[in-house]
């Protein structure tokens, strides 16, 4: 996909952060946008930042973990835009750092439902329509936590490893078609994912965000630029950020001692 002009891009989680950054870059490149989020005011702000008030952008309040809503979303996008060329499964949530024993089943399931089933629902709803296009792309946002099991992030890592597995399976199954599948493994990106963690009280959010931001080295705009460039080159995987590349390299160089290394680094950094 050499350019995005007139292409229809579906982006989940487009009300803030990386989803918003990708929406703005795609808009600048001439794409038509179908943006979804549970945060409708956030979607309105994304559209406001484009300066676009015409039918080139549609906004949809959708819970990606609800399959019926996602299927309806796909039909609504077709009604509004006529076709679909790019699916970006970006919506995701996290908990604040906590050990496995301290995480309730309820919170664990919420993370899995959004981060894993949300991606599954996106692929299930939109893949049949992508198959009808001359060329199409699926972008699934995994994480560094989809390459290595990060200390204190068991539900997040579980969901992001599964996104990686689904993406790599789709890559092999779609060989010979005109659909490319990119799985993205970002390290720390400057978003509000921890500030919005579902297990935090309101008075905890700002401190948690500040602690996370110390390790989030990559801007959302730079991450979006690299992701969309990878789509154009039809890459199947991209690791974003020096932190992600270093941690992944340590895993490969020291497979036996890697868990102890991760414990030494993250147990102190995450649990002050």
> How far apart (Å, rounded) are the C-alpha atoms in residues 220 and 223?
5
CA 119 from centroid of its chain's CA atoms: 9
> How far apart (Å, rounded) are the C-alpha atoms in residues 66 and 68?
6
The residues near 131 (Cβ < 8 Å, ≥ 6 apart) are 177, 179
Give, for 237, the enclosing helix (H) or strand (E).
strand 237-240
> How far apart (Å, rounded) are the C-alpha atoms in residues 151 and 139?
26
Residue 198, Cβ neighbours under 10 Å: how many?
13
Tokens standing for residue 243: 């932190």
Render 135-177 in DSSP notation, one character per residue.
Answer: SEEEEEE--GGGTS--TT-HHHHHHHHHHHHHHHHHHHHTTTS
The sign of the torsion formed by the CA atoms of 249, 251, 253, 258 equals: positive
> How far apart (Å, rounded) are the C-alpha atoms in residues 69 and 136?
22
Q: Which residues are designated catalytic?
A: 156
């Amino acid at each position: 996909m050499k350019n995005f002009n007139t292409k229809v891009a579906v982006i989940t989680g487009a009300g803030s952060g990386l989803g918003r950054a990708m929406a703005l870059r795609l808009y600048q490149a001439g794409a038509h946008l179908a943006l979804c989020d549970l945060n409708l005011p956030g979607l309105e702000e994304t559209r406001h930042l484009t300066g676009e008030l015409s039918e080139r952008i549609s906004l949809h309040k959708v819970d990606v973990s609800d399959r019926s809503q996602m299927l309806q979303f796909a039909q609504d996008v077709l009604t509004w835009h006529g076709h679909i060329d790019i699916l970006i499964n970006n919506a995701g949530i996290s908990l604040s750092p906590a050990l496995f024993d301290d995480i309730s089943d309820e919170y664990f399931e919420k993370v899995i439902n959004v981060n894993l089933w949300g991606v599954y629902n996106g692929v299930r709803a939109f893949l049949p329509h992508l198959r009808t296009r001359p060329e199409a792309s699926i972008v699934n946002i995994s994480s560094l936590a989809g390459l290595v099991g990060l200390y204190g992030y068991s539900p997040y890592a579980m969901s992001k490893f599964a996104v990686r597995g689904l993406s790599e399976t789709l890559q092999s199954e779609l060989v010979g078609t005109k659909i490319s599948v990119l799985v993205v493994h970002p390290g720390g990106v400057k978003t509000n994912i921890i500030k919005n963690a579902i297990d935090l009280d309101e008075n905890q959010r700002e401190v948690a965000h500040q602690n996370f931001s110390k390790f989030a080295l990559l801007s959302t705009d730079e991450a979006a630029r690299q992701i969309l460039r990878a789509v154009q080159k039809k890459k199947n995987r991209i690791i974003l950020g020096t932190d992600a590349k270093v941690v992944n390299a340590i895993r490969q160089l020291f497979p036996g001692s890697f868990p102890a290394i991760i414990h030494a680094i993250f147990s102190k950094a995450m649990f002050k």
